[in-house]
Amino acid sequence: MSVFEIEGGRRLAGEIDIQGAKNSSLPILAATLLGKGEHIIHNCPRLSDVDAAVEILRYLGCKVTREGNTLTVDSRDVSRWDIPEELMQEMRSSIVFLGAILARMGKAKLSMPGGCELGPRPIDLHLEALEKLGADIQDEYGFLHCSVQGRLKGTKIALSFPSVGATENILLASVLSEGITTVHNAAQEPEIVDLADFLNRCGAKVSGAGKSTIVIEGVNSLSATEHSVIPDRIVAATYLCCGAVTGGEVLLKRVNSSDLECMLPIFEQMGNTVSASPHSIYLKAPKMLKSVRNIRTMPYPGFPTDAQAPLMAALTVANGSSMFVENIFESRYKHVPELCRMGADIKVEGRVCVVNGVSRLTGAVVRAEDLRGGAALMIAGLKAQGVTTLRNIHHIERGYEDAERYITQLGGSMKRKKEN
């Protein structure tokens, strides 16, 4: 098993480019099933989740090649409509293939997805929406058997919660449907806009992406296209936390600063100097960070749940107490016990978490329990005195491309090692 060995106490300084967004790449790769031909996807990061999506595409009959950060997907010979359980279990986002397979093949069979265990994340919203579009869905022994007579039919769908995954599945299923589909209370994340842009390049008619109401006018067919994935806003926020916690000075390039508008003011409240242009963000940290009174995770454009753990790690050494309220997932504080092993003072009560800043953290042997929690432990390790050994780094590899290379580029000490 590989681990990250992090030597703390080094001030990070320098500039890095931000990778493509994982949460855009996965639904866009699923969308390549809809446009018959050879798709070219640029800025697609090297991640284990992306690798899992590629394996699903290949199983379904696509030809996929990679050159650097460009993936070429030839979807002309898709012949399967099922996804084996072992592929579904690789990542939670595998459920996004359901809408695309159903729209392309008229039927689909897959098991419940895997991924990070963050508490109940029911896919009921996905299934209810697809049923409204005309799909027949049967759940038998943990497998979903889905079919449709002819084509899916456009309809009005009102989501009870602005679920990103459900919105993506509706988009993927309805672009080839008959008639018009209107989605109310749709997710507004930048990744939804990126998916809609890709689909429109293929010939779809999607309007309103990025707003609470999306309208999809179904078309008869889609063609292949070329597209560049947007930068990853969560990765950008993570490296800002790395700079902030080490008293550093970092410049992030190839980033959409507008996607971080809800996060940048919090970094300023922490005492950082922050300057943003459309495609870069500069941060200079003070000697000691200030606490932040209240951070509530919310659907976009609110503070993202994926940035909660990285920011918490930075605030463990802030002057004063900070409070987090997690409104999206029930089990998103699994990193807290591990941070406390390093000397953090954190109290959790239900969805509320209070972080009392301490004067120092100490290196320890810790385990990542999920993707963003792993990033939080990496951030804490960069600040801690001594050496931190971070285990279960396969979680981090799901969302961060070559994290040790980026940290080293900024002057930190983080090495991948084999552990007996």
Q: Are 78 and 103 in contact (CB under 8 A)?
A: no
Whole-angstrom distance, CA of residue 81 vs CA of residue 103: 10
Whole-angstrom distance, CA of residue 187 vs CA of residue 23: 13
Whole-angstrom distance, CA of residue 22 vs CA of residue 32: 16
Q: Are 111 and 140 in contact (CB under 8 A)?
A: no
Q: Is 125 annotated as a binding residue?
A: yes
Q: Is 306 annotated as a binding residue?
A: yes
Nearest of 241, 233, 236, 235 to residue 383 by alpha carbon: 241
Q: Is 121 annotated as a binding residue?
A: yes
The partner residues of 2 in beta bridges, in order of sequence, read 418
Whole-angstrom distance, CA of residue 205 vs CA of residue 190: 18
| Helical (H) or strand (E) element with 51 | helix 48-60
Q: Is 416 annotated as a binding residue?
A: no
Residue 116 a catalytic site member:
yes
Q: Is 301 annotated as a binding residue?
A: no
Across 271-315, the runs of DSSP E, i.e. the strands, are 273-277, 280-284, 294-296
Whole-angstrom distance, CA of residue 210 vs CA of residue 190: 7
Q: Is 92 annotated as a binding residue?
A: yes
- Give the chain's end-to-end CA distance (angstroms, integer): 7
Contacts of 68 (CB under 8 A, 6+ apart): none
Q: Is 123 annotated as a binding residue?
A: yes
Across 27-168, the runs of DSSP E, i.e. the strands, are 35-36, 38-42, 63-67, 70-74, 82-83, 107-111, 136-140, 143-147, 156-158
CA 366 vs CA 50, 88, 354, 382: distances in Å? 26, 28, 21, 13
Active-site annotation holder among 44, 62, 116, 242: 116
Binding residues for phosphoenolpyruvate: 22-23
Binding residues: 22-23, 92, 121-125, 306, 328
Binding residues for UDP-N-acetyl-alpha-D-glucosamine: 92, 121-125, 306, 328
Q: Which residues are catalytic?
A: 116
